[in-house]
């Protein structure tokens, strides 16, 4: 498991970033009074998401591959991070829909 510790670390950080993002959306009113603007502003999540993947690849390159990484190594690293994020996504969704913004779906329907 030590072989994939960097990917696990960054996958967990990505999930935490998603939770923080949802809390910020809630605080900005994007789950309530400004829900009509939610589809526009939620796309800004791409900025920290890309940043996390870039930092993860740089971390893997520096600490596992001695400063030089091939495309294939980078692809596999990104794939494993994505798998960790996919595994954690149901937990993130449960936190969102039960704790952060239980009224979100009702507001979106209305």
Q: What are phi and psi of 11, to 5 degrees?
A: -65, -40
Q: What are phi and psi of 67, to 5 degrees?
A: 90, 0
Quickly state the pLDDT bin for 107 (edges 50, 70, 90).
confident
Sign of the alpha-carbon dihedral angle for 75, 79, 82, 88: negative
Quote the pLDDT of residue 1: 59
Mean pLDDT to the nearest integer, 29-40: 90
Helices H / strands E in the chain, number of each: 5, 0
Work out the percent of the chain whose per-residue pLDDT is above 70. Answer: 99
Helix pair 46-64, 5-27: axis angle to 10 deg = 160
Q: Is pLDDT larger for residue 109 or for residue 7?
A: 7
Domain ranges (residues) in the chain:
2-109
């Amino acid at each position: 498991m030590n072989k994939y510790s960097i990917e696990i670390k960054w996958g967990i950080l990505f999930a935490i970033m998603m939770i923080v993002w949802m809390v910020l959306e809630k605080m900005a009113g994007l789950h309530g009074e400004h829900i009509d603007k939610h589809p526009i502003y939620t796309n800004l999540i791409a900025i920290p998401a890309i940043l996390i993947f870039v930092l993860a690849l740089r971390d893997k390159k520096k600490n596992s591959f001695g400063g030089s990484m091939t495309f294939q190594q980078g692809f596999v690293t990104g794939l494993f991070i994505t798998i960790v994020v996919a595994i954690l996504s149901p937990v993130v969704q449960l936190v969102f829909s039960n704790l952060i913004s239980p009224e979100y779906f009702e507001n979106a329907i209305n």
